[in-house]
Structure 1
Amino acid sequence: MAREVRAFAITALTLAALGLPAGLLWSALSPRPPYRIIDQTPTLADPSTQALIAADGWFAAVTGGLGLACGALAWFLSRRVQLPVVLGLCLGGMAGAFVALWAGTTFTVGVVAVEASAAPGVTFTPGPLALTAKGVLVSWPLLAVGLFGFLEGMHGYRESPLRKPHPPGDTHLDETRPG
């Protein structure tokens, strides 16, 4: 029982800790939408900007890539305690995604530039990094658990005795078949 709890805790805490560098990487890669300041009020300069969608895409790419890496590594390292590790991938992946969201929206990493043609008296500033599609938060745990299950299924199929044909002339197996 202690081995299972330890495997779960290590997996979940490791993935949660990976959320900090993931969030900083997301902050470095994602573009910021331009806002204009008019009468001390920030307003989205271009409502049709693709920067909002790009931030969601970069978050999904960073956390999804980590999910695939964590799922593969967890499968290769956990031969005896698979269920606790899968649960740790699920919980740790969700925690890591929320830590990445917090880190990416809190800390600005990299160069933030706003390119827009300004009318006289209008100031442009980079907007905050945010997720508009909250569904990308599940990309990390979904891909980690999905790849773990895929690898385990492929390994189980390869090692299955049902996959090997019975030797020719084995009458015992032929007698048990109906018809």
Structure 2
Amino acid sequence: MADAVTERKIAAGAVVFGCVALLGAPLGLLWWLIAPRGQVTVTTGGTTVFYPLSETVFAGEGYYALMMLVAGLLTGYLAYLAQYSSTRRHGVDLRMPTLLGISAGALAGAVLAWVVGVGLDVFSASGAQSFAAPGDVVEQGLSLRSHSALLLWPFVAILQYGLFDAVSLWRGDLPTAEDARTDTVEPVHDEADNSRGPAPVER
């Protein structure tokens, strides 16, 4: 029995990790599609400088940070709902495996979104700069200079998940093994008694 419980916990953590981490790919694609690009000026040495300087230089990173915040809120809430339902159905406490899975999955997803977004932009940006003459203004590719933004998704997801778990703990409605047994019990009907018809009335 203990081995079955352990296997269920490992499987739950692995599923949460995989589902959350894979969300990084579409998020990276969305970042690449909607994020604005700043403009840079090509210098004589082939390098670039941020000129003319505008807010669009930092807007791409702002879009990434906002997307990671929203992803953290949604995945934290959905992971809690999935964990609560599964724990109530099977009577196995999956809070810790789910928390570990969403923490590692959110970090992996944030890195994947960064790699996908920057990777899709690197060829077009480098190509534009290589063909530009000194003094030309070209569009900058996506980048993430502040790597601390990679922690936004896991931080918010853990915070959201922990908040709902704390509310359940405070309300005392955490699912238990007894809830699982109660949910699976079905009423038993005595067909033999029903076939006899109503009991006679004594006079």
TM-score, length basis structure 1: 0.76
Percent identity between matched residues is 27
Pick from 93, 98, 102 the counterpart of residue 115 of structure 2. Answer: 102
Deviation at 1:107, TM superposition (A): 1.1
The whole-number CA distance in structure 1 between the counterparts of 2:134 and 2:53 is: 23
RMSD of Structure 2 on Structure 1 (CA): 2.0
Aligned length: 150
Per-residue CA deviations over 1:99-157 (Å, capped at 9, x if unaligned) read 0000010114xxx9xxxxxxx97322111211121111111111111000000111111
Deviation at 1:72, TM superposition (A): 0.3
Per-residue CA deviations over 1:45-103 (Å, capped at 9, x if unaligned) read 42643223212211111111111100000101102211101001110000000000000
Query: Which residue identity lines up with residue 71 of structure 2 in the other structure?
Result: L
- Give ranges in structure 1 of 5+ residues lacking alignment: 113-119, 161-179
Asked whether the 8 Å contact 2:44–2:134 carries over to 1, the reply is no
Residue 164 (structure 2) aligns with: 151
Secondary structure of 2:141 counterpart: coil
| The structure with more helix, counted as a fraction of residues | 2
More deviation, 13-22/34-43: 34-43
Residue 20 (structure 1) aligns with: 25
Give 1 or 2 for the bigger CA radius of gyration.
2
Question: After superposition, where does 1:1-179 map in structure 2 within 5 Å?
Answer: 1-39=6-44, 41-46=46-51, 48-79=53-84, 80=87, 81-108=94-121, 122-159=135-172
Secondary structure of 1:107 counterpart: helix
Asked whether the 8 Å contact 1:71–1:148 carries over to 2, the reply is yes
The whole-number CA distance in structure 2 between the counterparts of 1:129 and 1:142 is: 23
